[in-house]
Amino acid sequence: MRKTLVTQIAGWSVPLLSEAGALARSALMARVIGGEELGRVMVLTLVLRLAEMLSDAGVERFLMQRPGAVTPDFLAALHGAALVRGAVTALFLLALSLPAATLLPDAAGVGVHAALALVPLLRGFVHLDARLDERALRLAPMAAVEGGSVAVMLASVPLALTVLPDHRAIVAILLAQAGAQVALSHLVAHDPWRVRFDPAVLSQVLGFGGPLILNAALMFLTFQADRLVVSGFYGWAEVAIYGVAFQLAMLPSQIAGRAAGSLLAPRLRGLDGPALTRLARSALAMHLLGALAFALAFAVLAPHVIALVWGAPFRPDTLLALALGLAAGGRILRTPLSQLAVAQGRTGDPARANLWRAGALGLAVAAAALGAPLAAIAAAAALGEAAASLRALHLARDVLVHRPAVEART
């Protein structure tokens, strides 16, 4: 009982610490460099996130759901796959550097965008032993890696801002975090890091992760592109206001997703029949309650919290806070459904649901073009999240009502 409680605490505290660290970094930078520079920082991190999402074949998730023992040779081949992913992401960022720097007015320079390529390249050298421990619900090594890298990141913020007191500091801060993550992953590993490039394993990873990459593209269009719409139609100060509120709103869904990957995914692996239905229903009910509670709390508290922590210029209005809270609630609700789909090998289901969320991006663009307030952009996001949640529930209906699985309909 005590071991289960400790595991649950670790499973939730690790992603909480990671996301809280990102919020603290944002608040510290806002106080030093102001709204317009913080807007540029958010677009830089958005470009990095785009590249990482579009190259994420799910190496860690593949390791998590793969049945049977993981041999040293297989783990070495996964290290090779992670290196390939890091190199591909870096090349993608280099290709994006010129258009990213020129398409948006007064954006960060080409050199700053290009320097972002070093971050995923460095992360490609992470040792996956901690993920093996996570797969067995031993979360202490992962807590050390993630928690330690967040601590290093936060410690680097004042130094980076002293040397580069503008948006360029974010590159140094992200490199410090990535370097710490790699170093700590090797320190907690049980065995030396080995790498080999096995085409068969790469093919398995891509076969598993291909639909996840498609879903990542849809998630970027839905989860991140709202801020690009804001940056294209509004000023950099508005980018910062929307970005801070959006980042805070999505904090619980990010935490819930990572916690589910550590705690729910291992429990789903290998289950079927009534046992799978009971676990899926229980997880869905818990996330539904969390989604409703968060949406209400965010609408009431977020404007005051943001004004207190980030400063009065970043305070969102109540309608913007309410719409973003509802959008985040829809994403929280889909967390167990996405884990269920991956555990069953139905990695295309999250993309099928997110197609409905992507459709709302057109509403956001139209609202921005008509000069609507920022709350209209967030309202479009909330409508899209609601539609995607309904589609995800429909796709999971055979498990939730315990009927024999049928082929997914698109």
Rounded Cα gap, residues 335 and 223, in angstroms? 14
Contact 337, 353 (CB under 8 A): yes
Q: Are residues 250 and 342 part of one domain?
A: yes
Provide the CB-side half-sphere exposure for 120 (13 A, CA). Answer: 28
307 and 160 in a common domain: no
Which structural domain, as residue segments, surrounds residue 91? 1-197
Q: Is residue 392 a contact partner of residue 350, using CB atoms and an 8 Å limit?
A: yes
How would you write the pLDDT of the chain (410 residues) with one tens digit per residue?
555 555 556 566 677 778 788 888 988 998 899 888 888 888 898 889 888 877 777 788 788 777 778 889 999 999 999 999 999 999 999 998 888 888 776 778 899 999 999 999 999 999 999 988 888 778 788 889 988 999 999 999 999 999 999 999 999 999 999 999 999 999 999 999 999 999 998 888 888 777 767 766 766 666 667 877 887 788 878 888 998 998 889 888 878 777 777 678 778 877 888 888 989 899 999 999 999 999 999 999 999 999 999 988 999 999 999 999 999 999 899 999 988 887 887 877 887 888 888 888 889 999 999 989 999 999 999 999 999 999 999 999 988 886 554 444 44
Q: Is residue 331 part of a domain?
A: yes
Instruction: Answer whether 387's CB lies under 8 Å from 357's CB.
Output: yes
Which of 140, 63, 143, 49 shows the shortest CA–CA distance to 96? Answer: 49
Residue 41 falls within a domain, yes or no?
A: yes
Could you read off the pLDDT of 161-187 as tens digits, one per residue? 999 999 999 999 999 999 999 999 999
Cβ atoms of 85 and 59 closer than 8 Å: yes
- Give the model's pLDDT for residue 292: 93
Domain shared by 44 and 9, yes or no: yes
In this structure, is residue 165 part of a structural domain?
A: yes
Question: Domain tally for the chain?
Answer: 2
Q: What is the pLDDT of residues 201-259, one digit of tens each?
A: 888 888 877 776 776 676 666 666 787 788 778 887 888 899 899 888 988 887 877 77
Q: Which amino acid is at 159?
A: L
Q: Does any domain span residue 207?
A: no
Q: Is 50 found in the same domain as 161?
A: yes
Work out the angle at residue 44's Cα, subtended by the Cα atoms of residues 38 and 45, and round it to the nearest 5 degrees.
Answer: 90
Specify whether 168 is located in the same domain as 264: no
pLDDT, position 164: 92
Strand, helix or coil at 348? coil
Of 197, 226, 259, the residue at which a domain comes to its end is 197
Same domain for 332 and 187:
no
Cβ atoms 399, 340 nearer than 8 A: yes
Alpha helices by DSSP H, listed for 310-373, are 318-343, 349-359, 361-369
pLDDT at position 408 is 43
**The last residue of a domain, from among 127, 162, 197:** 197
Domain final residue, candidates 165, 197, 229: 197
The pLDDT of residue 409 is: 44
pLDDT number for residue 7? 58
Q: What is the DSSP string of 118-146?
A: HHHHHHTT--THHHHHHHTT--HHHHHHH
Same domain assignment for residues 247 and 307: yes
In a domain, 161, yes or no: yes
If asked whether residues 396 and 331 sit together in one domain, one would say yes
Per-residue model confidence (pLDDT) at position 410: 43
| Residues 96, 6 share a domain | yes
Residues 327 and 363 in one domain: yes
Please indicate, yes or no, if residue 203 is contained in any of the structural domains.
no
- In 183-292, beta strands by DSSP E: none
Q: Same domain for 75 and 156?
A: yes
Which helix or strand (DSSP H or E) is residue 195 part of?
none
| Residue 155 domain flag | yes
- Tokens standing for residue 212: 């996840």
Residue 394: CB atoms within 10 A of its CB come to: 14
Same domain, 193 and 258: no
The answer to the question of residue 232 being in a domain is yes
Given a contact cutoff of 8 angstroms between Cβ atoms, the answer to whether 303 and 315 are in contact is: yes
